[in-house]
Amino acid sequence: MFEVRVESNFSSAHRLRGYKGKCEELHGHNWKVEAFIQSENLDKIGMVVDFHHLKNLLKSVLNKLDHKFLNDVDYFKKVNPTSENIAKYIYDQLRSKDKKLGLTKVTVWESDTSYASYIE
Ligand SMILES: [Zn+2]
């Protein structure tokens, strides 16, 4: 099995609903996002996926979140904008943009020491 990973980032603000603590207040993060693709086979030239294609897809998803107040983004009006839910949102968006991608995991880092992943 082969695995490739691309990394990108975005900056946004959020406030967590129903959380007792500092994260209930408005604050921001520079989020780091990783997308993982697995494949048993390589294409004719020996790749799992073209990194440029994958990076462009990820960037197009993150552009919708960058410099936004996440609680105002439609999806997060009902779904709490936690790192976990942001990871699932990005996973689902990537999946819907390219169903043949072989996407296996999306990881969202909200700080240098804390991340959440969504794996289907
Ligand atoms: Zn936060």
CATH number, domain at 65?
3.30.479.10
pLDDT confidence of residue 22: 83
C-alpha 3/C-alpha 39 separation (Å) is: 7
The DSSP bridge partners found for residue 108 are 33, 116
- In the block, tokens 């999946």 appear at 95
84 part of the active site: no
34 part of the active site: no
pTM reported for the whole predicted model? 0.95
**Cα distance between the two ends of the chain:** 17
Q: Could you tell me the distance, in angstroms and rounded to a whole number, from the CA of residue 15 to the centre of ligand 1? A: 7
pLDDT confidence of residue 75: 97
14 part of the active site: no
The encoded tokens of residue 56 equal: 């462009």
Q: Could you tell me the distance, in angstroms and rounded to a whole number, from the CA of residue 44 to the centre of ligand 1? A: 43
Q: Could you tell me the distance, in angstroms and rounded to a whole number, from the CA of residue 43 to the centre of ligand 1? A: 40
Structural domain that includes position 20: 2-119
Mean pLDDT in runs of 10 for the chain (120 residues)? 97 94 92 97 96 97 98 96 98 95 96 96
Number of independent structural domains in the chain: 1
